[in-house]
Amino acid sequence: MTAPADARRPRTARRLGLPELRGQGLFVTGNLIDSVGNGMLLPLVLLYCTEVLNLPLARVGVAMTAGQALALPVTFLAGRLMDRLGPGRVVVWANILSAAGFALFLCARQPWHIAGRPPARTGRASTCTSPRSAP
């Protein structure tokens, strides 16, 4: 007779409320890769804008902050879309929007171009929301 899955988990994991991850390796690996990639994005965007586009660092910082603030409400919209369309479809379209937005970086010449890049920010916010609601 085997013990229930909850009894086999370390006490610290149970106490901290961490979810059971056995059998979820692909999902965890995908989120890890996504998190590392997004963690590297911000400094690289700053370098691109300041070194390649020769924009002032302060303006780039303000533009990126404004763009992130504009993208905040997208999470709520993504949640409603997931309820209606399902997480899979939302993730696919969010990734397409995100890719289009990042491609628009090639056209950026002013700080407001960085803040006004809604496709990348919209896609990123939707992609962050979608996997967490997947069954």
Per-residue pLDDT of the chain (135 residues; tens, 9 = 90+): 455 555 566 778 777 777 777 777 777 787 788 778 777 887 888 898 899 889 999 998 888 888 878 878 887 888 888 889 887 788 788 878 877 877 877 887 887 777 766 555 555 555 555 555 554
- The distance of Cα 62 from the centroid of its chain, to the nearest Å, equals 20
Q: CA–CA separation, 95 vs 102, rounded Å?
A: 10
**Residues with Cβ within 8 Å of residue 41, at least 6 apart in sequence:** none
Q: Which pTM value belongs to this model?
A: 0.61
Q: CA–CA separation, 34 vs 37, rounded Å?
A: 5
**Residues with Cβ within 8 Å of residue 114, at least 6 apart in sequence:** 45, 49, 60, 63, 64, 67, 105, 108
